[in-house]
Copies of this chain bind each other. A is one copy, B any other.
Amino acid sequence: MKSLLIKGNFISAPALGKLEILENGYLLTEDGVIKALFDKLPEQYSNIETDDYSGMLIMQSFCDMHLHAPQYPMLGMGMDLPLLEWLNTYTFKTEARFSDERYAREVYHALAQDLISRGTTRVVMFSSIHPKATLILMEELENAGVTGFVGKVNMDRNGGADLQETAVSSIRDTIYWLDECSRFKNVKPIITPRFTPSCSDGLMEELGKIASARGLNIQSHLSENLSEMEWVKSLRPDCSGYWQSYAKHGMWKDGTIMAHCVHCDDKELAAIKDAGVTVAHCADSNIDLCSGVAPVRKMLDMGIKVVLGSDIAGGAELSMTDVITKTIRASKIKRIESGWQTDFLSVAEAYYLGTTAAHLYFGDKPGFAPGNKLHAVVIDDSSLCTPRKLSLRERFERCLYISEKENIAAVYSNGVKCR
């Protein structure tokens, strides 16, 4: 058993809106698992190997709970188009390139490095339809130290000539991919129907059965954009709400994660709450594509589980500090719209959504709780100009708003130092 002490200023989010701050403290791990936090080091630990980050901030690492890996090469492109045109003009063409395994290797290597170097240690991610490229993605993430769930995308309609499966080939490739996934330790598969317009009823039904038989989670998109919702209505006249196009096929349950949920009506929100479905809120993408701003405060008040996603490349920011501050800004738009009747998300709340809320999805306890594997990012903010000696809370806020990649001094993922 290997013991390690980490020394510095610890900041974590034990609950929505709360910060736990430990100045000049110590965190003890054994084999990467958190054992205890100390404000004063007990005598018996004085000789243990120590990673000393005195003066720096040690925060919970970030979780990007919705992003499209094959869209990484088109980050920040085509931002003048709305969702459905953007998909056809840029996205589907870019994803089609991932039939080329060499290209997949190159892009996914860069993406995995970029994620870990920005302090994102857990993801819930879309790949493309390609099983081999998906395995390459999972391998690159695992090698870089990024953990979480990755899904081979299923789509047997409306993808265009170069990016479409049949229901049969989609299921065959899914089974092949799932069987191959057993070789990964920290990156696990998740069933991933792209969204209802991309999947026939029959394909949805088969995917629901696979998820159920193998005990797998499910990710997809829900109520992102008004045109998309109209389209779903016409494709699924049998469903009174968009969410039922998933629910009817056994995909509506605890562990299911739905991106966006910008325009859910009250019934859909209630269905989300009742089933324990998690919402991946993607503020930047929803504004970039003119979709709208999701009612996050309302969701939280209802007790819905909300986490954050960069949604690259609908979103143009891979850095979760940017995603967190953009989430705050989006919530301020809601406040402005409501004549200041709606509280915006505080810095502590948005940080909670980008960290603890998502770590819970993976089975952790809140904050730096004993029993969790260590997921942490160390930020050296000493190069930032200050007006006076700042409190740790103030430094924490600035790290979210203005720290850059170069300020990240170390990253721990799943108990291991990756950076």
Taking beta carbons and an 8 Å cutoff, which residues of A are in contact with B? 72-80, 93-94, 97, 107, 110-111, 284, 287-288, 290-293, 316-317, 325, 328-329, 332-333, 335-337, 340, 344, 346-347, 384-388, 390, 394, 397-398, 400-402, 404-405
Contact of A316 among B335, B386, B390, B402 (CB under 8 A): B402
Q: Is the CB of B80 within 8 A of A332?
A: no
Please indicate the chain B residues that have their CB under 8 angstroms from the CB of A288 in the complex.
Answer: 329, 332
Q: Is the CB of A75 within 8 A of B404?
A: no
Contact of A402 among B76, B110, B387 (CB under 8 A): B76
Complex Cα spacing A238 to B343, Å: 36
Q: Is the CB of B332 within 8 A of A398?
A: no
Contact of A404 among B290, B325, B401, B404 (CB under 8 A): B404
This chain: copies in complex: 2
Please indicate the chain B residues that have their CB under 8 angstroms from the CB of A316 in the complex.
Answer: 325, 401-402
Complex Cα spacing A385 to B114, Å: 11
Closest 5 CB pairs of A and B: A76-B401, A73-B387, A76-B402, A94-B387, A76-B398
Given contacts A107-B385, A333-B333, contact A402 B347 (CB under 8 A): no
| CB-CB nearest in chain B for A317 | B402
Most chain B beta-carbon neighbours within 10 Å: one of A107, A329, A344, A346: A329
Q: Is the CB of B77 within 8 A of A398?
A: yes
Complex Cα spacing A305 to B316, Å: 29
| CB-CB nearest in chain B for A80 | B346
Q: Is the CB of A397 within 8 A of B347?
A: no
| CB-CB nearest in chain B for A395 | B77
| CB-CB nearest in chain B for A71 | B387
Please indicate the chain B residues that have their CB under 8 angstroms from the CB of A93 in the complex.
Answer: 387
Please name 16 pairs of A and B residues whose Cβ atoms are closer than 8 Å in the assembled complex, sorted by A. Answer: A72-B385, A74-B387, A76-B397, A77-B398, A77-B401, A79-B347, A80-B346, A94-B387, A111-B385, A288-B329, A290-B332, A290-B340, A293-B333, A316-B325, A317-B402, A337-B337
Closest Cβ–Cβ distance, residue A140 to chain B (whole Å) = 13
Contact of A386 among B73, B336, B347, B400 (CB under 8 A): B73
Complex Cα spacing A335 to B76, Å: 20
Closest Cβ–Cβ distance, residue A162 to chain B (whole Å) = 13
Contact of A328 among B79, B325, B388 (CB under 8 A): B79
